[in-house]
């Protein structure tokens, strides 16, 4: 390092402590990057790569971004999963005797972003931490730095359950121990797309003990300690807005694993991976950003407590019954800004005057909103106002101190209201009167000299000056002005009197701006005392917003209040898929009933592709989720049990990242359901077994249905193209055949999308191919082949001259001894007593022997 200049030595020393981050090193009006940071940043940000002499043998790669526009470049890096360390000058260059002292003042990471332009206002930005313990259990801790929210959960079902838990929330970054299993770290990065960071310290600083007073488990303390230590390391500033850690009791919520959340498209679609087309996009009628975030939390964790669910339904019903009051409430909510994130920024110390004006407007709207709540007749809605504190003292502080048209910057004045501080008023008066005096002086000098183009101007280098164009210079009385500056077309002058006024004006301006900044900081500190109350107020406003959104959705989309029963009864009349019916606005969605009492646990669904089997299955799951999160549901009536878990296998999706085929993913998801489901669960399995050979698939499908029927007894919807399985209705007492009705008309199939009892007559596969516009000659050939096969013929003609033998029994070669052993082994297997996974393992071993 000795060969480099002192400044580069300073850079390298600081960079050595920030190895996994881009170091934004402040030099004047730029943030500069050097060496590998410069090479990588120039590529990622598409900015010019240059070089400079740093004292070594070779020139050093360098690139930079302007200080005033750095936020946009930082955002680009954060969105790509990188970290950025901000290194600022921490002493005045004028008093520095050598290299200006610099320090990293903040490490910005994907999970610790605070700047509003880098955030999705309708989504939390979670930093998570995972800790593993010797007994095989894990803790998962969460923090949203923008809101101060902290929570923790204990995972006892293994690492796959950890992945499902993390997948269930908008996590951007995960903090782990450096010794964490490398294969699992790869899963975090590649399967979940997280930035991985490290912290080995789990001790909790004494100043944060108030956050963990309710944590009585050493695992919880260690798990949250790791997360908290990382936040302290990266932020290096006040964390007073952090809230006490909330313990997530997972058994209080419906379990939705990562497969189900993905397959049901709760928050984003499978194809486009965006919100549009998801359940969230349909039911989100919230007004505020914090309400939208709360809605997503409710969707991620539907309730299991009947009393809590009913309480939400009562409030939705009360809001639904009074349209005009609800519309008034919605209008008032538009005036409520994001109190949750405002509170975080206030405590964090990066709030500006405009933010506090938004806070003032929000507090002004709260009393009117409370009066509106009082007008609702339903007692559960009318009482919502009773626990709301509109914080009148805080509102008074903001009204008295801040100017309504305050600028964004806090160091150029214009923030504090006239009359708030007498000293500031005096400075302002001096500045205003001084400028008035200068304007009068300009008029006087024009009259005295007769030069109408004479003007008095100002710049930061020379201050105030009198400017006279060159043609008019001979008209100036001799000795009237003192020459200051010569321009191409004019001369600039000063007078002792003008310099005296300049001193007074500039001194008043400087002192005014300095005093305003001090006063604003004082106001901000006063506001900081209300952070916890603001956070509680934000929770109340968010809840009200979500509930009115449920009522709005119910009103607009004809949802009804569901009822709950203890008899494991599913009775939905004229149920609809909440998303599909919105997509089909110009067409009529065909509603269907779903009925499963104690005598029926499995519905075996047959029918052609595109007929609506998957839609029918999904709408039951979505209706159950909506009902247990507190929403009304899309149907004419619904009586439901409270499901503890929902498992789905709907749609084919290869797991390309882990190299698993469609069939393996299908089996893993099926196994997950079979291993964890209870009689209070809901299982949706669509076309199980289609990823392998016909007989393998059929055998597995039947074995799975039997296993669920005999051993689990969960409510199950099982769709299949294996019509042979419909005979199970005669063997399994609690299984019922249903099918999606379709009819053939003039050679074309018409999907009626109606569910009826019994098995489907035929699959209509060729008709579906025809709808897909396959070549007509191909359709004709397939129709001929189908009729030939159905008539029992073993030979299919290609042309009159040439024969293609399909399914013709050929003379079998002599069977090697190994095949005889395999046949004996296969004949000895009792498939009816094997689990699906055992059957799959046996098939794998047989195939392995065949290949050896």
d(CA 44, CA 119): 20
The CATH number of whichever domain residue 44 belongs to comes to: 3.40.1170.10
- Ligand-binding site membership of 141 (annotated): no
Q: What's the pLDDT at 155?
A: 96
**Cβ atoms 301, 151 nearer than 8 A:** no
Q: Same domain for 437 and 359? A: no
> Is 666 within a domain?
yes
Q: Same domain for 199 and 292? A: no
The domain of 541 spans 284-391+530-557
| Nearest residue to 589 via CA among 632, 555, 635 | 635
Which residue intervals of 322-450 are DSSP H helices?
A: 323-333, 339-348, 353-374, 379-382, 392-401, 422-449
Q: Same domain for 222 and 128? A: yes
Tell me how many domains the chain contains: 6
Q: How confident is the model at residue 657 (pLDDT cuts 50, 70, 90)?
A: very low
> Is 278 within a domain?
no
Average pLDDT over residues 504-532: 91
**Cβ atoms 627, 642 nearer than 8 A:** no
Q: Same domain for 572 and 701? A: yes
Q: What's the pLDDT at 834?
A: 64
Which pair of structure tokens corresponds to residue 670?
Answer: 């099926």
Q: What's the pLDDT at 187?
A: 93
222, pLDDT greater than 90: yes
Q: How confident is the model at residue 832 (pLDDT cuts 50, 70, 90)?
A: low
Q: Same domain for 553 and 577? A: no
Which pair of structure tokens corresponds to residue 357?
Answer: 């004006």
Tell me the whole-structure pTM to 2 decimals: 0.82
- Average pLDDT of the chain to the nearest whole number: 88
pLDDT tens digits, 307-350: 999 999 999 999 999 999 999 999 999 999 999 999 999 988 88
> Is 207 within a domain?
yes
Q: Which comes out higher in pLDDT, residue 91 or 198?
A: 198
Q: Same domain for 184 and 45? A: no
711: alpha, beta or left? (left if phi > 0; alpha if psi -120 to 50) = alpha
> Is 769 within a domain?
no
Q: Same domain for 544 and 656? A: no
Q: Same domain for 311 and 177? A: no
Q: Same domain for 676 and 758? A: yes
pLDDT tens digits, 471-502: 999 989 888 899 999 999 999 999 988 888 88
- Ligand-binding site membership of 609 (annotated): yes
> Is 446 within a domain?
yes
> Is 788 within a domain?
no
- Ligand-binding site membership of 390 (annotated): no
Q: Same domain for 194 and 333? A: no
Which pair of structure tokens corresponds to residue 690?
Answer: 């289609």
The CATH number of whichever domain residue 720 belongs to comes to: 3.40.50.300
pLDDT tens digits, 593-620: 999 999 999 999 998 877 789 999 999 9
815, pLDDT greater than 60: no
Q: What's the pLDDT at 811?
A: 47
**CA 252 → CA 7, 249, 642, distances in Å?**
57, 6, 12
Q: Which comes out higher in pLDDT, residue 634 or 825?
A: 634
631, pLDDT greater than 90: yes
Q: Same domain for 509 and 547? A: no
Q: What's the pLDDT at 497?
A: 86
Q: Same domain for 510 and 628? A: no
> Is 417 within a domain?
no
Q: Which comes out higher in pLDDT, residue 797 or 127?
A: 127
> Is 790 within a domain?
no
169, pLDDT greater than 50: yes
Q: Report the interhelical angle of 496-528 vs 392-401 (nearest 10°).
A: 170
- Ligand-binding site membership of 610 (annotated): yes
Q: How confident is the model at residue 745 (pLDDT cuts 50, 70, 90)?
A: low
């Amino acid at each position: 390092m000795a060969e480099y200049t002192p400044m580069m030595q300073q850079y390298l020393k600081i960079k050595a402590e920030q190895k996994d981050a881009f170091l934004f090193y402040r030099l004047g009006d730029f943030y500069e990057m050097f060496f590998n940071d410069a090479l990588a940043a120039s590529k990622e940000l598409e900015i010019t790569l240059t070089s400079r002499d740093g004292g070594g043998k070779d020139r050093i790669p360098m690139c930079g971004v302007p200080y005033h526009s750095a936020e946009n470049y930082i955002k680009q890096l954060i969105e790509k999963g990188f970290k950025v360390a901000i290194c600022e000058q921490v002493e005045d260059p004028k008093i520095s005797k050598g290299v200006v002292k610099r320090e990293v003042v903040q490490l910005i990471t994907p999970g610790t972003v605070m700047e509003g332009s880098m955030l999705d206002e309708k989504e939390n930005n979670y930093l998570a931490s995972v800790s593993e313990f010797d007994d095989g259990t894990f803790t998962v801790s969460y923090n949203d730095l923008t809101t101060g929210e902290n929570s923790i959960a204990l995972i006892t079902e293994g690492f796959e359950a950890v992945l499902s838990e993390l997948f269930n929330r908008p996590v951007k970054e995960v903090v782990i121990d450096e010794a964490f299993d490398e294969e699992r770290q790869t899963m975090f990065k590649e399967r979940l797309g997280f930035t991985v960071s490290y912290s080995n310290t789990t001790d909790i600083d004494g100043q944060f003990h108030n956050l963990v007073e309710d944590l009585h488990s050493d695992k919880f303390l260690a798990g949250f300690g790791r997360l908290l230590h990382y936040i302290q390391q990266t932020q290096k500033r006040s964390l007073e807005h952090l809230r006490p850690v909330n313990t997530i009791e997972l058994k209080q919520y419906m379990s939705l694993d990562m497969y189900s959340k993905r397959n049901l498209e709760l928050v984003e679609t499978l194809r486009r991976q965006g919100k549009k087309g998801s359940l969230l996009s349909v039911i989100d009628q919230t007004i505020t950003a914090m309400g939208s975030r709360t809605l997503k939390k409710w969707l991620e964790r539907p309730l299991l407590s009947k009393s809590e669910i009913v309480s939400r339904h009562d409030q939705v019903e009360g809001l639904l019954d009074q349209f005009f009051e609800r519309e008034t409430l919605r209008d008032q909510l538009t005036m409520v800004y994001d109190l949750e994130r405002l509170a975080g920024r206030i405590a964090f110390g990066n709030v500006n005057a405009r933010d506090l004006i938004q806070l003032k407007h929000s507090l002004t709207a709260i009393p009117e909103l409370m009066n509106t709540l009082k007008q609702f007749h339903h007692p559960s809605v009318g009482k919502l106002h009773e626990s709301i504190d509109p914080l009148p003292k805080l509102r008074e502080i903001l009204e008295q101190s801040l100017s309504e048209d305050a600028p964004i910057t806090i160091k150029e004045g214009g923030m504090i209201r006239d009359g708030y501080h007498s000293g500031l008023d005096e400075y302002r008066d001096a500045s205003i009167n001084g400028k008035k005096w200068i304007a009068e002086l300009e008029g006087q000098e024009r009259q005295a000299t007769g030069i109408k183009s004479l003007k008095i101007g100002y710049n930061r280098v020379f201050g105030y000056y009198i400017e006279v164009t060159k043609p008019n210079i001979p008209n100036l009385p001799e000795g009237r002005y003192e020459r200051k500056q010569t321009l191409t077309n004019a001369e600039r002058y000063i007078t002792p009197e003008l310099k005296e006024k300049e001193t007074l004006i500039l001194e008043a301006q400087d002192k005014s701006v300095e005093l305003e900044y001090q006063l604003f900081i004082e106001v901000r500190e006063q506001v900081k005392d209300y952070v916890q109350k603001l956070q509680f107020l934000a929770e109340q406003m968010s809840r009200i917003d979500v509930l009115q959104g449920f009522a709005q959705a119910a009103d607009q989309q004809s949802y009804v209040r569901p009822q709950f029963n203890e008899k494991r009864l599913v009775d939905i009349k004229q149920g609809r898929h909440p998303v599909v019916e919105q997509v089909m606005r110009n067409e009529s969605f065909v509603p269907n009933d779903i009925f499963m009492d104690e005598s029926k646990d499995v519905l075996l669904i047959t029918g052609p592709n595109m007929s609506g089997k998957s839609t029918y299955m999904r709408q039951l799951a979505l209706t159950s989720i909506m009902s247990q999160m507190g929403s009304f549901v899309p149907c004419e009536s619904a009586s439901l049990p409270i499901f503890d878990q929902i498992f789905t296998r709907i749609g084919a999706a290869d797991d390309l990242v882990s190299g698993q085929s469609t069939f393996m993913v299908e089996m893993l998801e099926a196994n997950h359901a079979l291993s964890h489901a209870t009689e209070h669960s809901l299982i949706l399995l669509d076309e199980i077994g289609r990823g392998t050979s016909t007989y393998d698939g059929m055998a597995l499908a039947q074995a799975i249905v039997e296993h669920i029927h005999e051993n689990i007894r969960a409510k199950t919807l099982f769709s299949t193209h294996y019509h042979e399985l419909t005979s199970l209705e005669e063997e399994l007492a609690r299984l019922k055949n249903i099918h999606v009705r379709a009819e053939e008309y003039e050679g074309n199939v018409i999907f009626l999308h109606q569910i009826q009892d019994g098995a489907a007559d035929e699959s209509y596969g060729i008709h579906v191919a025809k709808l897909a516009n396959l070549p007509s000659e191909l359709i004709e050939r397939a129709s001929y082949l189908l009729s030939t096969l159905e008539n029992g013929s073993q030979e299919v003609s290609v042309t009159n001259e040439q024969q293609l033998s399909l399914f013709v029994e050929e003379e079998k070669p002599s069977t090697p001894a190994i095949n005889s052993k395999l046949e004996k082994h296969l004949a000895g297997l009792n498939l009816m007593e094997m689990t699906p996974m055992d059957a799959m393992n046996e098939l794998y071993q047989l195939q392995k022997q065949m290949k050896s």
